Amino acid sequence: MSDASDRKTSTKSILEHEAGDQKFFCQDVVVLATFSECCYKRIGIEPALIWKKFEYIVNDIPSILNRNTGATNPSVFKRAAALTIAFIATSPLDQIFQSNKFPKKLAEIGNHQNAIVIFEYCRQCLHNACYLKEEKGKPVEMVQLKRKIKLSAHFYYDMIFAISNIKTDASFHFLALNYELMAYKANKGASYPEKI
């Protein structure tokens, strides 16, 4: 993905506020922690989350983006990849999803709790995300990803397994492409014309 494609797939409101802004930094931490907390509670587990770990995650994201892309306004897919990598690198959630309510097969994956929470978070974020399609350098259409990413159980398992095994940000670009492909698959017409 080039810088040009980054510009085209950047959410219009994205990066209005960067991590240097303490106010929005706090919101990012709170939203991420709240989402994680509710995932646990929904399956009947009372979590004890550590704030500091969520701060590390939010702090890591700009570094991961800087290391892997020169774009000033990376696409939502690259942001999803950066957040996923930052989350797994820190793995803030220690308690496994050990619950009768939760699918046993998923719970057998090592570090499944972190992989599932961050994948679900990104999937929700990408739902209704929008970006500007361009032709010959000119904006032509604002596209909204109206449909949420849907996957088969097989693919979901493999995706969680792959995410849970991320060790470094070497997988950044493939992960970003994966999010992009999943979003395009769910939203016909969202991608650029497939001519090649």
Partner 1 sequence: MNNILKFESQPMLMAGMQGSYQTTKGVRATGVNCQANAAGIFRIVGSLKQVEKLACDSMDNLIKNFPKH
**111: which 2 tokens?**
């570090």
Q: How far is the CB of 113 from partner 1 (least distance, A)?
A: 11
| Cα 150 from Cα 185, distance rounded (Å) | 9
With contacts defined by CB under 8 A, name the span among 113-121, 132-140, 162-170, 187-195 that binds partner 1.
113-121
- Which 3 state secondary structure label does DSSP give 55? helix
| Cα 76 from Cα 164, distance rounded (Å) | 21
In DSSP terms, 142 is beta-bridged to: 132
With contacts defined by CB under 8 A, name the span among 46-54, 132-140, 163-171, 180-188 that binds partner 1.
46-54
Which CB atom, from 124 or from 135, has the smaller least distance to partner 1?
Answer: 124
Binding to partner 1 (CB under 8 A): which residues in 73-102?
A: 76, 79-80, 82-83, 101-102
Residue from 1, 14, 89, 96 touching partner 1 (CB under 8 A): that is 14
Binding to partner 1 (CB under 8 A): which residues in 119-158?
A: 120-130, 153, 156
* HEC letters along 89-132: HHCCCCCCCCCCCCCHHHHCCCCHHHHHHHHHHHHHHHCCCEEE
Residue from 6, 7, 8, 39 touching partner 1 (CB under 8 A): that is 39
Listed residue (72, 57, 51, 66) closest to 3, CA to CA: 72
- Site residues (CB under 8 A) for partner 1? 11, 13-19, 22-24, 26-39, 42-43, 48-52, 54-55, 58, 61-62, 76, 79-80, 82-83, 101-106, 116, 120-130, 153, 156
